[in-house]
Chain A
Amino acid sequence: MRHLLTTKHLSRDAAIQILDVAEDMADVANREVKKLPALRGKTVVNLFFEDSTRTRISFEAAAKRLSADVINFSAKGSSVSKGESLKDTAQTLAAMGADAVVIRHQSSGAPQVLAESGWIDAPIVNAGDGTHEHPTQALLDAFTMRRRLYNGQSRGRDLDGVGVVIVGDILHSRVARSNLWLLETLGAHVTFVAPATLVPLGAETWPVAISYDLDATLAAEKPDVVMMLRIQSERMNAAFFPNAREYSREWGLDDVRFAALPTDTIVMHPGPMNRGLEISAAAADSAQSTVLEQVTNGVSIRMAALYLLLSGDREALL
């Protein structure tokens, strides 16, 4: 694997390899010594053009557990915010000897530009770009599903036949996109549920069922997994839906909807949650909820990704 930019272009074998390696990484987290020497002497740069403490510390923990050195480079708010900054920053990092760059950027495609520009010759990990993709989130979600569904027998397995309903702001969600492509590759079938204003134009050509009615979908699909997406406060002011109350009533996983779910339905949320808006406290804190597991698994997935990107001879990958 040369870069991890999307799940769209991840093969089934490559995806399962990452998930399986993450299983080994997860085992390490249960030991007294939680550290592996695999990336000793390597430098991983977290290049964040957009604030995300959660994602950054997850990558930081992953790199450190593999004994890599970590440099956090927050480009947000600094004078470099437009135009040539990405190039300048990349060349600076290259000159500093970065062995891998984890990039979070508000502009879709920025990680790909970085990977293909020739400004820096290091593996690039997309830690979320605009409304495009967030591949490690999708991988950790798939990892979480696999673990819950197969009880410790998940190595080597895909998600064939698993039903996943993703609810909320699909339009602006890189998590939804990355999840869709990965889940499709792994054999799951996915349904998006959202108000029509928050469904991307052309999504009817994607391998996904689209619904505007959460209750009808939950009743008809009996999904194995319900994934709730965060509603950003700025959407409420941009006429995508009338107000938070109406959104919550129609598309929120409230106590009534949660109680109606079978007790083995997995409830997921990529965080941070708006309790009481897209998900009720009872649903979020239930045994069916994987919210904290997702955080834990995120470190394992990112360890796996960093390990696979940084080990082996880079020339051999060309």
Chain B
Amino acid sequence: MTVNTAYLIRGATLPQGTRADLLVQDARITAVGTNLDTGSGLTVIDADGLIALPGLVDLHTHLREPGFEQSETVLTGSRAAAAGGFTSVFAMANTLPVSDTAGVVEQVQALGDAAGYATVRPIGAVTVGLAGERLSEIGAMAHSRAQVRVFSDDGKCVHDSLLMRRALEYVRTFDGVVAQHAQDPRLTENAQMNEGALSSELGLKGWPAVAEESIIARDVLLAEHVGSRLHVCHVSTAGSVEVIRWAKSRGITVTAEATPHHLLLTEDLIRSYDARYKVNPPLRRDEDVRALREGLADGTIDIIATDHAPHPKESKEAEWDAASFGMVGLESALSVAQTALIDTGLLTWNDIARVLSQTPADIGRLADHSHCFEVGAPANFTLVDPSTTSTFDLARLAGKSTNSPYLGRTLSGRVEYTFHHGYPTVGAAAVRPADEVATAAAAWKAGN
């Protein structure tokens, strides 16, 4: 597989369930049909039994660069994205320096372009240094080459009501959205896990559901009041789903995401005190998992976003209190979604295309994204083998960190191919080498 090759994807199953051949040339889909001609110079991929999904879009990724390169870099993080079938990721702002200026967001974007594994769209910080005190240079970031449209202090909550109101109002100027990490700081001081009988038994300080729900309730009312778009990050409780359902019924322009881990895992895993299960917001109860799944099925929850949060080994090989919050999730997201939502009959593959590609692209105002396999659409897509069931192991991870809660777990499905701008970033279930992908990306850029 080399640069500027044309590809014929033969016999893929499209999200709606129809079978089609796809012709990929010059970074675009140039033909869709059955029994497409195999001209010379074509690389043919037998996609019999594989599902073609539009390139997945992650609205919530921590790429860690600049500042925390021991955990992840833009290159390794976008490589992990490709391995998971993603062609676009939105990189959270809690880097060092914080992505609160045009300079930092342009740097992140440029690193992503150079690596070529996925389209990297930086998220700008809402407040300077994520300190929750003064608005950052939102306009400068919006007008920079990075064209930032999503603003978030993720990792921290914009808890000052007045500041949140101003942020919601201000981003409207640029058709932006504030993605809120909903966590009342006072109610969650030193919080370690979901608050309930189990946290009390294990002696770990509780993170009460109300600390999330109360912030979401306030924010949707603020969004309604000022008429702005609000996005709620990593919704984790049944109560939050209820609040968002109510807000949507009132016509408030709110969107919400759920992470794969909150759709599959529960707090019971913490009995092991294994810090791989330490995440913020924390794993919740079974009834919360069920409410999130139902919320996704009925559209209350709009999207799945990974909250991919890499950490070095030593941050997790520690006693619970001292360990870092977060899990890697890009490589496993689709398999978790299939296991939690498709295998349970709650969602179809077409729904998966919606919640993992179309809607996150819409929320993030991702340019040149098409979720339809139609002639002229950018050739960003992934081919998934849904029929395999396997133990998720280290070989499936393609980023720098291995803090996955799924290692050793049986999950459904596997990404076989990922195409970004018409070139493969994953081929035959293996991530393509960095130099090959970078060369292909440069060639694409030159021709664009």
**Chain A interface (Cβ < 8 Å from any Cβ of B):** 8, 82-87, 105-110, 112-113, 116-117, 129-133, 171, 174, 177, 200-203, 205-206
Contacts and interface: CB of A to CB of B under 8 A. Distances in A.
Contacts of B322: 82-83, 86, 107
Q: Is the interface of B mostly helix, strand, loop or mixed?
A: helix
Contacts of A200: 197, 200
A106 B190 CA distance: 13
A202 B200 contact: yes
Contact of B196 (A84, A86, A133, A202): A202
A177 B319 contact: no
Interface in B358-401: none
B318 A108 contact: no
Given A82-B322, A84-B314, A109 B273 contact: yes
Top 10 nearest A-B pairs (CB, nearest first) are A202-B197, A132-B203, A109-B273, A200-B200, A108-B203, A131-B203, A107-B321, A110-B319, A107-B319, A84-B314
Nearest to B315: A83
B321 A108 contact: yes
* Residue with the greatest number of chain B CB neighbours at <10 A, chosen from A83, A110, A177: A83
B199 interface: yes
B317 interface: yes
B347 interface: no
Contacts of A84: 314, 317-318
Contacts of A117: 317
B135 interface: no
B203 A174 contact: yes
B203 A86 contact: no
A105 B273 CA distance: 14
A206 B198 CA distance: 10
Interface string B168-195: 0000000000000000000000000001
Given A83-B314, A83-B322, A201-B195, A109 B200 contact: no
A133 B315 CA distance: 24
B203 A109 contact: yes
B428 interface: no
B317 A201 contact: no
Nearest to A133: B203
B346 interface: no
Interface residues of B, number: 22
B318 A86 contact: yes
Given A84-B317, A87-B317, A201 B206 contact: yes
A171 B200 CA distance: 8
B204 interface: yes
A47 B7 CA distance: 63
B239 to A, nearest CB: 15
Contact of B319 (A8, A109, A201, A206): A109
Contacts of B202: 108-109, 132
* Residue with the greatest number of chain B CB neighbours at <10 A, chosen from A87, A107, A109, A205: A109
B322 to A, nearest CB: 5
A68 B434 CA distance: 58
B197 A203 contact: yes
A177 B203 contact: yes
B238 to A, nearest CB: 16
6 contacts: A83-B318, A174-B203, A200-B200, A201-B196, A201-B206, A202-B197
A140 B115 CA distance: 62
Contacts of A82: 318, 322
A82 B315 CA distance: 10
B286 to A, nearest CB: 15
Nearest to A105: B319
Contact of A86 (B195, B204, B319): B319
B196 A109 contact: no
Interface in B183-240: 195-204, 206, 208
A82 B201 CA distance: 24
A109 B201 CA distance: 11
B197 A130 contact: no
A132 B204 CA distance: 7
B320 A202 contact: no
B318 A205 contact: no
Contacts of A131: 203
Nearest to A82: B322
* Residue with the greatest number of chain A CB neighbours at <10 A, chosen from B202, B204, B206: B202
B272 interface: yes
Nearest to A173: B203
Contact of B198 (A107, A171, A177, A202): A202
A174 B202 CA distance: 10
Given A109-B203, A201-B206, A206 B197 contact: yes
A84 B200 CA distance: 26
Nearest to A81: B322
